Structure 1
Amino acid sequence: MSLIGVKSYLAKFGLDNDIIEVNDSSATVHDAAISLNTDEDRIAKSLSFLVGDDVVVIVVSGRSKIDNHKYKAFFHKKAKMIPFDDVERLTSHPVGGVCPFDLPENVQVYLDNSLKKYDTVFPACGSPNSAIEISIDNLEKTSNYKSWIDVTTKIDN
């Protein structure tokens, strides 16, 4: 199970005991915010894309969406999300549990600037009912990210 791998991975940073498991699904931003008693924008959703043959995970704030023009300007390709049925095979995490931790070596992680306004955020931890409250500094240390990028726009209510 993916959660077990993430726990083992985060143990290397002394963060495995900080993982929160909830009874209900936290697979959507709305559900996660309710389960974790936080603002939707502090949910760090991990979006998975194919950029040519490369697998890319972009971690963005919960109330953000990909801005196609910004995405194309950065990656020089049109945004193409990984098909639902291929997500777990390519990221090692199920849909709703994709996170920037314990990913296959070939997966590139980027952190979106939309996260920078918060001291802590809540990414998933490899299952649709797990998360961790993590500082931005620790997110940088644990995610093996390539760079900070600006590829989102805020979602209007």
Structure 2
Amino acid sequence: MAIDKVREYFRKYGMEDRIQEFEVSSATVALAAQALGCEPQRIAKTLSFMVEGKAILVVAAGDVKIDNAKYKKKFGTKAKMLSPDKVTLLVGHAVGGVCPFAVNQGVKVYLDESIKRFETVFPACGSSNSAIELTIEEMERYADEEGWVDVCKLA
């Protein structure tokens, strides 16, 4: 299971105990916020796209959506989300548990400016009933990100 890959990934940093697993689904922003008892905007959703034939991930706040003009300016192509089967195949996590940790080789991760508003955010951990609370600095460190982007707008 993908959560086991993520747990193993965080074990290298002595952080696997910080992963939270829920009895209920956290597969959407609303469900994750409910499971965690936090504001939906603090859910760090990981969106999957195809750019130049390769999967990329954009980690964004729960209350934003892709701004097509900004996305095209940054990546040189229209925002085209991956289908659920392609997400699992190319990224290594299924929809509902996609996160920027322990992803398949070659997947580039970008952090959207929208998460910088918060001290901590809650990304998933590879399953549809998991999350971890991370500071923005920890997101930068553990997401193995390519850099910050500004490709979203308030929903």
Q: Same fold (TM over 0.5)?
A: yes
Residue 52 of structure 1 deviates from its aligned partner by 2.0
Residue number in structure 2 paired with 1:57: 57
What does residue range 38-53 of structure 1 map to in structure 2 within 5 Å?
Answer: 38-53=38-53
The one-letter code matched in structure 2 to 1:3 is I
Residue 20 (str. 1) matches residue 20 (str. 2)? yes
CA distance in 1, matches of 2:38, 2:121: 9
Superposition CA RMSD, Å: 0.6
Residue number in structure 2 paired with 1:32: 32
Residue 105 of structure 1 deviates from its aligned partner by 1.9
Deviation larger for 12-21 or 58-67 = 12-21
- Calculate the TM-score normalised by the size of structure 1: 0.97
Where structure 1 has 5 or more consecutive residues not aligned to the other structure, the ranges are none
Aligned residues: 155
Is this contact kept in 2: 1:113–1:149, CA < 8 A?
A: yes
Is this contact kept in 1: 2:84–2:94, CA < 8 A?
A: no
Q: After TM superposition, where is structure 1 displaced by more than 2 Å over at least 4 residues in a row?
A: none
Residue number in structure 2 paired with 1:88: 88
1:97-156: CA deviations, max 9, x gaps?
00000011200000000000111000000000000011111111101000000000011x
Residue 6 (str. 1) matches residue 1 (str. 2)? no
- Find the residue that maps to 2:117 and give its secondary structure: coil
CA distance in 2, matches of 1:19, 1:60: 19
Where structure 2 has 5 or more consecutive residues not aligned to the other structure, the ranges are none
Residue 11 of structure 1 deviates from its aligned partner by 1.1
Identity within the alignment, %: 47
